[in-house]
Every structure is written in C-alpha cells, then in structure tokens.
Amino acid sequence: DAKTTQPPSMDCAEGRAANLPCNHSTISGNEYVYWYRQIHSQGPQYIIHGLKNNETNEMASLIITEDRKSSTLILPHATLRDTAVYYCIVRLTGYQKVTFGTGTKLQVIP
Amino acid sequence: DAGVIQSPRHEVTEMGQEVTLRCKLISGHNSLFWYRQTMMRGLELLIYFNNNVPIDDSGMPEDRFSAKMPNASFSTLKIQPSEPRDSAVYFCASSSTDRPQHFGDGTRLSIL
C-alpha cells in the first residue's frame, strides 16, 4: 500500500465546511483512495472512496487532484458530531488489506 | 440490516486466563478482519480471512493469539494465556470483495 500523510489535527467552526487534506504522492494507477472516521469509543466508519473522479455522497465529498497525488475530504456543514479522527487510506484494487495511519483529529468548535 | 456484532463489549480478566472474542459478520460478506487498537500503536491489522481461509496473519503478535472462522458468518479471536500487554480495544470488520470494510463497536479488553 502507498503511504499517506495527513495533518495530525485540525479545528473547524460548527456550520462551516471542513476540508481535510491527504497526501498520497506514491499512489499507483490501480489504487483507490478511501476515507474512514473514528468517533471516540466507536469502530471506524466508512465515509467515501474514489479512484480518480471526484465523488459525493450523503456524508461528504472527495476531491482528488488530477495527478492523484493528493485528495481532500470535504464535510460541507460540520456539526459537533463530526468531531472524530479521520483516516485517509489507499487500497489496491482486489487487495483486501489496508493500513491505517495516525489520521487527522478534527475538532468541531461551537 | 444488522452490522458487525462483537461480543463481549467489555472484558476484564486476570493474567494467564484464556480470552475469547467473538464476531458475527454482516450477512453476505466474505472477508473478515481482526484489528487491535492501542494509544501507542494505533489501529493494527492482526489477521484477515477471505471465504473462511486465513490470508494474512502477519500481524498476529505471537503464538498466544489464534483466530478461526468455523463458518462463513462467525469468527473467534483467542488469547491464551493472556498478558497485561494484550490490553487494548479489539475490532472486527467485514466486507465483500473490493468493497469498504464495516467495523463492529469493538471489545475493550483489560488484563490485570
């Protein structure tokens, strides 16, 4: 798996968009970008994933740069319940194993 | 639909005792993952199965740890004998091939 780099922590005001960056400069063409989050005391929760196109679902949007070396997870209107550790992971197509790094601790502030 | 179900949610036991953690997969999923999470080491993959067959157990700490899938919907992780350094939160996750993993709520294990 390619390695990812994320800032250790970020703050975001409640109601504002939270933009969480991830660097994956060694990603290969058949590796997807996945995002999970872990709210305190719970198991990690899948958010979104993509290969090269931008993706959006009910939880978030994923913007992947054209060269695929970085991506941004966007929570359009952050709430206090979005306070969590967010993990960016790259995963090889057809390969089940993934490695969780240290993630970004997002604190949503009232 | 029910998610991944782990039991027990909390376990406190004395050093040397056998510990058995249980996991029920989401119906239709064919891959099963066991993780361990500590403050020091973060979230580590211990072992994963595909179609009931162990594929990668390189994360299993030592021979005291063993995992099985007696059927397609159920798995156990055993620690025998347990040691204080095994104290952690243990997560189970399941998925279908090439789909996201879904995690259970974890078992918080304390070895005294």
Mean pLDDT of B67-81: 96
Q: Do A42 and B56 touch (CB under 8 A)?
A: no
Helices (H) and strands (E) in chain B, counts: 0, 11
β partners of residue B112: none
Any residues with CB less than 8 A from the CB of B36 and at least 6 apart, and which?
B43, B44, B46, B88, B89, B90, B91
Q: What local confidence, expressed as pLDDT, does residue B2 receive?
A: 80
A40: contact with B, CB 8 A cutoff: no
Helix (H) or strand (E) holding A87: strand A84-92
CA A38 to chain centre: 11
Is the model's pLDDT at A1 over the cut of 60? no
Shortest Cα–Cα distance, B42 to chain A (Å): 7
Cis peptide before A110 (omega within 30 of 0): no
Minimal Cβ distance to A43: which of B42, B55, B104: B104
DSSP 8-state code for residue B39: T
pLDDT tens-digit series, residues A65-99: 999 999 999 999 999 999 999 999 998 877 778 88
B47: distance to nearest CA of chain A, Å?
9
CA-nearest residue of chain A to B48? A97
Look at residue B37 in the predicted model and tell me its pLDDT: 96
CA distance B27 to chain A (A): 18
Give the pairing type, strands B74-79 and B19-24. antiparallel
The count of CB pairs under 8 A between chains A and B is 44
User: Please, are residues A33 and A62 in contact by the beta-carbon 8 Å criterion?
Assistant: yes
Residues 6+ apart with CB under 8 A from A43: B4, B91, B93, B103, B104, B105, B106
Q: Which of B42, B55, B100 sits opposite A49 (nearest CB)?
A: B100
Residue B1 banded pLDDT, cuts 50, 70, 90: low
**What pLDDT is stored for residue A2 in this prediction?**
54
Digit-coded pLDDT (tens) for A4-62? 999 999 999 999 999 999 999 999 888 999 999 999 889 999 999 999 989 999 999 99
CA-based nearest distance B71→chain A, Å: 20
pLDDT at site A94: 75
Residue reference for tokens 């899948």: A46
Q: Which of B84, B78, B40, B83 is nearest to B60 (CA)?
A: B78
Amino acid at A64: I
In contact, A82 and A59? CB cutoff 8 Å: no
Is the CB of A81 inside 8 Å of chain B's CB atoms? no
Contact B88/B19 with Cβ under 8 angstroms?
A: no
Q: Nearest residue on chain B to A37, judged by CA atoms?
A: B103
Distance CA A6, CA A59 (A): 20
Phi, psi of A66 (to 5 degrees): -60, -35
CB contact under 8 A, B105 and A94: no
Q: pLDDT digit string (tens) for B6-64?
A: 999 999 999 999 999 999 999 999 999 999 999 999 999 999 999 999 999 999 988 99
